[in-house]
Structure 1
């Protein structure tokens, strides 16, 4: 059994009133803000750079470097926007964080705003999460009442207002420039870059856009120092992160651990595969990342190692699928999602995801002979025409499960050609060759 958990953002989630200001202040809450207000803005940015903190929203871009991209102050406003539009299938770390301990985010917003010279910050939340929206509003209200937000915070002369904005519900608004357009009241669609948000973001002013977990990691980082932070994780992927295990595991949930932990260790913590089944495939970073199989159980879950193995760490949304799952069915459902959520702005994504969905539907639901082996090449050709050619990363993400599943499970695709519907509805075991690693994870 691995003991590599590092409960930091999750350390008091089991407290009966974990979301309140009183509980947060009992666990060093807002001590980091008071420390930050006694430091210079340049020192705060330098400390964040030195820590190696990388964006926890999927791209893994160095957080301190992003802050440093802002141009010198010109007397006008600059903004911090927190991307809380968590909506990719399998991704579920920011929502429980905001529900269980929203003040981590609020304090991180205050520190980051002070560091970049911002006096009005926005938290853009997915609109369907009404319960989270109410909890955030209450946390902001508590922070104002305690003097952690508002005018002349703790006598420092620093002013900060925080607005929690509920979006209308669109996956595309997780893309930072589409989020900014939505926040301004426009239809959420990606902007042409450059200019980048650091130069012309919200209301055409310098803007930093960061993920919830990235900002929530700032208070413990500042309080305990960059050396403490770098002692966890790997050399290039420092610190801790929340790993979301869902699917066919005995105890799904959130596991906070250093970057570089493996799926084998996380499965031990989660009680192994459900009902003793064998691991078949999994996503290391959500449905937009290329699939892994049981061959990859011991790949360190950090940005570099996962990339070298052919996928992306993404949001650390580990969706686990056992031998009873049809990979074609799973990929078809993901592709339907991307087709539905495409904003339609660019042709490769708008048309490409539609055609991908048509072919996969024929394979999964059509009668025998409706699809052919030529469709596999057609799928790959369409993916090739989307990858790197769409306006934003939504199109790229839609191709990942298709190309990777064909790489690892082409025989399973072929098994769909000569039967009506899905062969897994008859006998799932026939189409699973078994473990290719020396030791298969099981309960």
Structure 2
């Protein structure tokens, strides 16, 4: 692994007016595109394959391989869709990236579109972040004026149009096929697969769907090469990524580092836990990933290391909680979110998340009933792997892992409210000191 921090995507965030085309080009922006237009589409795909870039949206699927799934003999138009519907609790990497340096994403979109042969690309942005939508629209407009978009992309003779689309404001639209339905003007709900989007995606045409960070990482690979990218990260999880650090820490924020760094190292970069705090539990990839504890401080934060520890790297949203936090209350809040955001299409998720919330509320209020813990585990077992999409699976992960590591707190919910065991005022991040 290289240096502790590897500012690549975030290298220009602090520059004066970093979001403008002039500032981006001054830092070498669009150099990757200039190389890409001298290459054949297949060569670009092979380069991204060789780099080892894996999807940064959660699944970690090899990006170049995903691009290669587009069938060569399909006569329909091809589309690139960027999933910028960031809404996982604790995740805050894509929105800062698009706000600070939208041209990084736009350049990646142009390169990826050339690789798959798309003449139209869509950036689907969460509708609530209107300021980001406007900034992306301004960046796209600048790219058209500079000749990077339009009828003759960077003098290549190929065409590309980019549409910035404000989403419907639903967590479920982060699921790629629900996003496609929303983009087509329908209610955002997951589709049955197969067919997969690579064969029949947007408007029943071949479609590649990638996360913002995945696409934004491509220009640097084109500009600096495969060996440079592979010098960071680990053997199977190459490159750099953005970690979102939040919670009971002194300096929360975005930390761009090689894959394989540990939470212990990131906490040191963030000034450590707040005064008086001790690490109790944390999420490696947002609230839909199984929680980990202090015993996992030195687990490599890459796809293999976190997987071996029983969780998932997900979106690299490192939510850190100290000893003042009630695990039961925290898991309840997350589950209320998933219940609210369930699209209702499938019974396990629609009904299961509702019953999970009812049971957790009893335990949180100290009115738990005999068998409630077993009921929670049984409900999770009937949701996991049986729901239409991964939302249901994600709703169960924090519950089962919390019971695994902190069952005594759930047992206490049979007779004592969480608020008595863990007064909320002690856990607040604002205006309170941690009791000695």
Pick the TM interval, shorter chain.
Answer: over 0.9
Q: TM-score, normalised by structure 1?
A: 0.94
Q: For residues 75 and 190 of structure 1, what CA distance do their matches in structure 2 show?
A: 25
1:127 aligns with 2:127: yes
**Distance of 1:270 and 1:400 partners within structure 2:** 27
Over 3 Å counting, the alpha-carbon distance change for 1:427 and 1:231 in structure 2 is closer
Q: Is residue 178 from structure 1 mapped to residue 178 from structure 2 by the alignment? A: yes
- Partner Cα separation in structure 2 for residue 393 and residue 217 of structure 1: 25
The alpha-carbon deviation at position 424 of structure 1 amounts to 2.5
TM-score (norm 2): 0.96
RMSD over aligned CA atoms reads 1.4
- State yes or no: 1:385 paired with 2:398: no
Correspondence list, 1:42-441, <5 A? 42-365=42-365, 368=366, 370-420=367-417, 422-425=419-422
How far apart in 1 are the matches of 2:135 and 2:244?
A: 21
Residues of 2 paired with 1:140 and 1:197: CA distance? Answer: 25
C-alpha displacement of 1:388:
0.3
| Structure-2 residue corresponding to 1:20 | 20
Q: CA deviation at 1:154?
A: 2.3
Structure 1 gaps of 5+ residues are 430-443
In 2, Cα distance between equivalents of 1:222 and 1:156: 16
Any gaps of 5 or more consecutive residues in structure 2? Answer: 427-436
Aligned residues between the structures: 425
Partner SS for 1:422: helix
1:417 Cα deviation after fit: 1.6
CA gap 1:74/1:420 in 2 versus in 1, 3 angstroms:
closer
1:390 partner SS: coil
Contact 1:289 1:312 in 2 (8 A): yes
Q: Would the alpha carbon gap of residues 26 and 378 (structure 1) be closer, same or farther in structure 2, given more than 3 Å must change?
A: same
> Secondary structure, in 3 states, of the residue corresponding to 1:198?
helix
Distance 1:126 1:306 in 2: 28
**Distance in 2 between residues matched to 1:420 and 1:235, nearest whole Å:** 47
1:133/1:164 contact within 8 Å kept: yes
In structure 2, the residue corresponding to 1:35 is in which secondary structure? Answer: helix
Question: Deviations for 1:315-368, whole angstroms, at most 9, x for unmatched residues?
Answer: 000001011111111000000000000000000000000000000011112xx5
Check whether the contact 1:325–1:428 (CA below 8 A) recurs between aligned residues: no
Contact 2:76 / 2:206 at 8 angstroms: preserved in 1? no
Q: 1:259-297: per-residue Cα shift (whole Å, max 9, x none)?
A: 000000000000000123100000000000000000000
The DSSP-based 3-state class of the residue aligned with 2:197 is: coil
Cα deviation, residue 227, structure 1: 1.1
